Structure 1
Amino acid sequence: MLNKKSDLPRGSKKLIRAWTFYDWANSVYSLVISSAIFPIYYSTHVFSDTNSILIFNIDINKDTLISLYQVCVF
């Protein structure tokens, strides 16, 4: 087991590969949650009683609003 900082020198291919896979997995997780899980939750629980929302006198479909929100956040 690696306990010392000097066991893997800076710029080591093993260390770079480990951080690359960590970053890739972390990005995929947040993408799946925000694009697959949240829209289903919001459509069924948060906006379940209405099919659209009135904003500035414009009638917007709830699914469109959720998609626009996700685009702005990410």
Structure 2
Amino acid sequence: MDAVNSPTHYRQGEIECIEAIREALGTEGFISYCRGNALKYLWRCEYKGKRTEDLLKAEYYIKAAAVASAHGDSE
């Protein structure tokens, strides 16, 4: 597990938190959630002292939004 892609504190039992959020919000809600998180990490990356980690987290959420969008477009 790593701090960017799958931190252990976000997995309880069989499901990871982001999977539960995706199911709860649906495609459009999940894309908005990901965009908001990406913005948060980009916003704070210069001020928290973990710029590279925050940029990688923003990238993670941008990719998750893109994947959800691609799957949503094909449904």
Establish whether TM, by shorter chain, passes 0.5.
Answer: no
The structure whose residues are more often helix, as a share, is 2
Indicate the TM-score class for this superposition, using the shorter chain for normalisation: 0.3 to 0.5
Q: Please tell me whether Structure 1 or Structure 2 has the larger radius of gyration of its CA atoms.
A: 1
Give the TM-score, by structure 2 length. Answer: 0.32
Q: Which has the higher contact order (CA 8 A, sep 6+)?
A: 2
The structure whose residues are more often strand, as a share, is 1
